[in-house]
Amino acid sequence: MRVNRRGMAMVAALVSVLACSPADGPLPADEAPAAADRRAGAPGIGDPDFPKDGNGGYDVAHYDLVVDYVPTTKRLTGVTTIKATATQDLSRFNLDLSGLDVREVSVDGSPARFGRQGDELTVRPAKAIADRAGFTVRVAYSGTPKPAKDSANLGTYGFVPTSDGAFVASEPNGSKTWFPNNDHPSDKATYDFTITVPTGLTALANGELVGAPATKGGTTTFRWRERHPMASYLATATLGKFDLRHGATASGIPNLAATDPRFKSSLDKLYTTSAEVTDYWSTIFGPYPFSSTGGVVDNYSAGYALENQTKPLYGGFDPDDTIIAHELAHQWFGNSLTIRRWKDLWLNEGFATYAEWLWSEHKGRKTAEATFAELLKRPATDPMWTYPPGRAKPDDLFNQSVYTRGGMTLHALRGAIGDATFFTLLKTWAADHRYGHVTTDEFIDLAQRLSGKDLTALFDAWLFQPRRPT
């Protein structure tokens, strides 16, 4: 994720316009409180900073999403089929879903009872699920999606209706605004998308198209498949009027650029820059982790960009090469390597910010060293020094320190261990945890192992102390 500074005034304006008012019914009267049933899956996955995000008791392997959306009525009709494995005996379990009306839930083909409370959808299968058993849950639902609103973090996010469709960017927990899921990055899964829109519009989801779009009776259906594990916040179904350019990068990675007609003049630059950056990062961070690359510029003035897997999304502005370099660096750091807890967000944003500085260096502009030296001159009272980036705060997750001081941490590390070890470290880190999960401790351990140095003091000063490192 990265804020586009010129867009910030727009964010403030939009936050006050878009209201969010999910109307959720209470649990059925016969539902005992979860605490009374040891076989009930927990309503949160265990991230203390976001206690209600995700759910306990199962692990999702695959989402099959069928979504119909009509921009003129803003009505979404969906069926989500989830393949999961129980991690405990389950008499009931939760999914995350914000607003929208649930019509029917089944587990392994049998109708299941369900209840709603806030953003929790509780499912009680007809028969309890045994620990380690695989199961399939299918949820049929519909309604008018309401984007999430959180002025302390991203502003407006999730499924955001636009004049011609929808802008879908869900970090940190907005995917529940458009489909029921286990909405936390610690449970990644593969995805199939079947999205139907009025003919003339294009639906853009993650991964690659499966067959040609099919038009029938005034609607067109797009099928996309993301066959690599993906965090829920990176799932997208951005749709509307788009101009497309597709092909491949110089190294042969399929590349798709899409721009809203308002940004048609950006299409070629988006396409060529995304290709160039993807290929360059492949030489610095190791092989590209996914099966395609590209980018999408929509007409919604979000004022930020999000690194949606294989299709970074730029909200209402013409992205320059620096922000494209940032979002595509996330395909390695954030998307392939995913944080287990939000407090470790610097592993995404510090790395993507440092990637911006490496890109600038690569282009013969300012060096990373010059950027670092300039930032280090900020006075001791600068808010960046009082916010330790190694511990992102839930009410201020996207603080600039997580980005800038996170990036400075990597530059300080580079200085301490030398270029050869530093760039080996970046590649080894990306290779060792490809498609998996990561923590800050694991990064520190690897840096120490590869360099043979005790880096405790360096990481402590840069990541965890509320003052400027000396």
- Of the two residues 69 and 332, which places its CB atom closer to Zn ion in the complex? 332
Which class for 374: exposed (0-12), middle (13-18), buried (19 or more C-beta within 10 A)?
exposed
The Cα 455–Cα 264 span in angstroms is 48
Binding range to Zn ion, per CB under 5 A, among 2-10, 101-109, 288-296, 312-320:
2-10
- Span interacting with Zn ion, options 49-57, 100-108, 118-126, 349-357, rule CB under 5 A: 349-357
Residue 425 CB, nearest distance to Zn ion (Å)? 20
Specify the residue, 52 or 326, whose C-beta has the smaller distance to Zn ion: 326
What is the contact mask toward Zn ion in residues 301 to 330, using x (rule: CB under 5 A)?
A: ------------------------------
For the record, the structure tokens of 182 come out as 């286990």
Q: From 307, 295, 298, select the one nearest 355 (Cα to Cα).
A: 307
Q: Please, what is the minimum distance in Å from the beta carbon of residue 38 to Zn ion?
A: 40
Closest CB 3 distance from Zn ion, rounded Å? 9
For residue 129, state whether it binds Zn ion (rule: CB under 5 A).
Answer: no
Q: How far is the CB of 327 from Zn ion (least distance, A)?
A: 7
Exposure string for 418-428, b = 16+ CB within 10 A, e = fewer: eeebbeebbeb
Smallest distance from Zn ion to CB 123, Å: 34
Stretch that binds Zn ion, among 178-186, 288-296, 341-349, 378-386 (CB under 5 A): 341-349
Choose the stretch contacting Zn ion; rule: CB under 5 A; options: 12-20, 343-351, 367-375, 386-394: 343-351
35-40: long-range contacts, CB 8 A cutoff, minimum separation 24 = 37/91, 37/92, 39/88, 39/89, 39/90, 39/91, 39/92, 39/128, 40/90, 40/91, 40/92, 40/93
Does residue 164 contact residue 71 with C-beta atoms inside 8 Å?
A: yes
Could you say whether residue 234 binds Zn ion (CB under 5 A)?
no
Nearer to Zn ion among residue 398 and residue 429 (C-beta): 398
Q: Which of 332, 287, 326, 325 has its CA nearest to residue 309?
A: 332
* Closest by Cα among 249, 231, 420 to 333: 231
Point out which span in 32-40, 342-350, 419-427, 460-468 binds Zn ion (CB under 5 A).
Answer: 342-350
Asked if 195 is part of the footprint of Zn ion (rule: CB under 5 A), the reply reads: no
Q: Is residue 171 a contact point for Zn ion (CB under 5 A)?
A: no
The answer to the question of residue 176 lying near Zn ion (CB under 5 A) is: no
**Pattern 350-379, binding to Zn ion, x per CB under 5 A?**
--x---------------------------
Residue ranges that bind Zn ion, judged by CB under 5 A: 1-2, 349, 352
